[in-house]
Structure 1
Amino acid sequence: METGGAERVAVNLANALATRIAVSFLCATRKEGLLKSGLNQNVQYVFLDKKRTFDIQAIRTLFKFVKSDRIDIIHAHSTSFFLATLIKLLLPKVKIIWHDHYGNSEFVNKRKSGVLRYCSKYFSHVIAVNEVLKQWSIKNLKIDNVDFLSNFSIQDKIEPQTSLAGTLGKKVIHLANLRPQKNHELLFKSFSSVIKEHPDWTLHCVGEDFKDDYSKKIKAFIEENNLGSNIFIYGSKPDVANILSQSTIGVLSSDSEGLPLAVLEYGMAGLPVVATNVGDCDLIVSNEKEGLLVEPNDLELFSNSLLKLVENPDLREKLGQNLKNKVFENFSEEKIVERLLNIYQSTLK
């Protein structure tokens, strides 16, 4: 239940389904986190406290949960497909729908798939978060039923608790866990160029801090370049809607993505964006229409694009409104959940 994209999608789906099906359940396997506080009270919840890949106690807990509540479908996200497969071996009537959120879709050809390929023969359906992953599953897994289903975002109703530093109207937000694929260095270097001309602007990084070598590296970059007054790292925060309401521009600097939830959330908040053209970003953002798209690792263009939005409030307003309209029209909860329910129904036939 870390505040990553897959985990947030799982919570969003559980909440959305709570009012549309008999009972909606959510199972957290290894960790509990901030997202738990965002669960709808009608969602039934279980935590396995899984310690290792083959954890007998976790398997036993989930087996009892699935059996006693007569659960028909296990909607397994990301790596939880293995645990779901074990349960199906014990309860053969249970159907598995696997939801692929693989973040490094730009490098999917390097993906290790031996165990996944074996387990896929027990799946009833695969859902991919972008077209690249859909085609990968069709080619590599032992299953015919594969669909692309877009992520969707909802505005949380969590009480405001985070206050962003800096001047109102001059804040750039980056929603991303501190992982190498998110390429904070590209963002920091670009932002360094911006504040040379606009020193009163600030950058705010919100996402899980794993306190690892990557985290140390990007924090060292801030310190070594004297950026501590302009770049702030907050860690995970539950009140995303509140944070976005304080922000002016949304950014995504990733080397690879699926269909990034962050960009959908920027759109719901009416923020203009600068994003790298990875994964299915171009399905959400048409360059110069809903935001500014930049090829990955293009430091000069990313810097210039960010500067362009900083210096043009009218452009920010236009792009932000266009993105908001597109997100509500094409990536709404209603449309995505309706498609998911159709998949569930076909699975149970």
Structure 2
Amino acid sequence: MRIVQLIDSLEAGGAERMAVNYANALSESIAFSGLVATRKEGELKKQIDKKVSYLFLDKKTRLDIKAVLKLRKYINNNQVQIIQAHSSSFFLAVLVKLTLPKVKIIWHDHYGNRINESRKKHYILFLCSFCFSACFAVNPELEKWILKKLRITKVFFIPNFTLGDSSVSNKTYLNGETNKRIICLANLKKPKNHITILKAFNNTKLNHFSWSLHLVGKIYHDDYFYQLKYFIDENNLKESIFFYDSIQDVSFALSQANISVLASRYEGFPVSLLEYGHAGLAVISTNVGFCTSLIKDGYNGLLFNPEDSEALKEHFLKLAFDEDLQKDLGTNLKTEVLKQYSSCEIMKELIIKYNYIINE
């Protein structure tokens, strides 16, 4: 079996992290596992396993013929059977398939808000779907949207999984007092809804009890980032809220926290929740996307509406002063993640799907 993961960049994000996870995990069980970044490299390049064949196309425009030919040559030389195109990279995969009709395309959708969008908004995707052999969706809602809106009948819900980052050196040391840290792992983009987290934390006054909040994720130095900075400055929280930008040693950073939070307005299947669970952290999660399937409120985490900062405030207070609840929620989620979302379990299912698609 010879499969390539196609992704537009290797900056730290959910789809990007999963492309690397797929390539790394498959390198242990198939004849050829490749990873191709089309437009941009990034921090995740350092996490690609040595057994994975890697190529960077340096694509400049949507119709970059040089990039198409470079990918076509790579597919040909390595006798690739399947291109697994993550998110928006599907267009380049289709251009290659037009000259190599035998290669099969699996489009892998990670975009949680697509379920609220029309086919008209994704007309190019609709046309390209005629060239897809199958689609993977990271939650059942996306699976239904694809079946309804695109020209493809073979659509499979495939859960995300995490491999950890044990090969990465530990460099990120969190500020603040031990056993009083809250962490949020999400790139600093508006849909991630950091402002609700800041408002809730500020209203708890937990900083007066030496608690601190740690925001880990890529900083774009845009209006959104400066709005967060302004809120922190206006409320005198500079000694309690800290930014870390993108980091490699995610597991090490999480090991220093006690409570984790995700407040996104929409999600597909957030890898961060799996990473929180793997770390055994108590989780407070938004109730969108696959989050409500993974998190059972009160058993392995606490759920809230992402627009309700008051509910998040109450969850922060509830966990901050109840160490037993922290431990119970964290233990229960870790057990669930290791049992249901390990790479070993997901790979077994994937190999069956890949064989089915190849032999169709």
Q: Same fold (TM over 0.5)?
A: yes
In 2, Cα distance between equivalents of 1:64 and 1:190: 52
Find 1:321's aligned residue among 314, 327, 331: 331
- Partner AA of 1:301 in structure 2: A
In 2, Cα distance between equivalents of 1:111 and 1:265: 35
Percent of aligned positions that are identical: 47
Find 1:89's aligned residue among 98, 113, 123: 98
**Correspondence list, 1:174-253, <5 A:** 174-196=184-206, 198-253=208-263
CA RMSD of aligned residues (A): 1.3
Q: Is 1:45 the counterpart of 2:54 in the alignment? A: yes
Q: Classify 1:160/1:341 alpha carbon distance in 2 versus 1 (closer, same or farther; 3 Å).
A: same
Is the 8 Å Cα contact of residues 106 and 256 (structure 1) preserved in structure 2? no
TM-score normalized by structure 1? 0.97
Q: Which runs of 5+ in 1 are unaligned?
A: none
Q: Classify 1:105/1:257 alpha carbon distance in 2 versus 1 (closer, same or farther; 3 Å).
A: farther
SS of corresponding position for 1:187: helix
The Cα shift of 1:108 comes to: 3.6
Find 1:98's aligned residue among 104, 107, 128: 107
In 1, Cα distance between equivalents of 2:192 and 2:162: 19
Residue 17 of structure 1 corresponds to 26
Return 333-342 or 266-275, whichever deviates more. Answer: 333-342
Find 1:257's aligned residue among 241, 244, 267: 267
TM-score normalized by structure 2? 0.94
Q: Classify 1:228/1:107 alpha carbon distance in 2 versus 1 (closer, same or farther; 3 Å).
A: farther
Residue 316 of structure 2 corresponds to 306
In 1, Cα distance between equivalents of 2:320 and 2:118: 37
- Partner AA of 1:149 in structure 2: I
- 1:124-148 Cα offsets, whole Å, 9 max, x none, are 0000001111000000000100011
Return 72-81 or 57-66, whichever deviates more. Answer: 57-66
The Cα shift of 1:287 comes to: 0.2
**Correspondence list, 1:51-70, <5 A:** 51-70=60-79
The Cα shift of 1:107 comes to: 2.9
Q: Classify 1:110/1:229 alpha carbon distance in 2 versus 1 (closer, same or farther; 3 Å).
A: farther
SS of corresponding position for 1:344: helix
SS of corresponding position for 1:79: helix
In 2, Cα distance between equivalents of 1:110 and 1:124: 19
The Cα shift of 1:221 comes to: 1.6
SS of corresponding position for 2:345: helix
The Cα shift of 1:196 comes to: 4.7
**Segments of 4+ in structure 1 off by > 4 A?**
none
In 2, Cα distance between equivalents of 1:106 and 1:263: 21
